[in-house]
Amino acid sequence: MIHVVGGLTLGFLIGSGCRWFDLPLPAPPRIVGALLVVAMTVGFIGADLLLAAG
């Protein structure tokens, strides 16, 4: 659980820093691209959990 909180915190800090310094976000500019990043992350976490259980 601490990894999830750490990851979300880091994501918000990077996003806030990019906004503060007016840098382009390190993410796709369209919703489809953002959903692809979310799907890849969920797949990675799911596979990690599945492999750890087996």
The model carries a pTM of 0.49
pLDDT at 26: 67
pLDDT at 51: 87
Question: How far, in Å, CA of 29 to CA of 16, rounded?
Answer: 16
pLDDT at 4: 79
pLDDT at 14: 79
CB 14 within 8 A of CB 20: no
pLDDT at 2: 84
Please state the φ and ψ torsions of residue 29, each to the nearest 5 degrees. -80, -5
Which residue range is the domain that position 13 belongs to? 2-53
pLDDT in tens, 3-54: 878 877 887 887 778 778 887 766 677 888 788 788 888 888 888 888 888 7
**What is the total count of domains within the chain?**
1
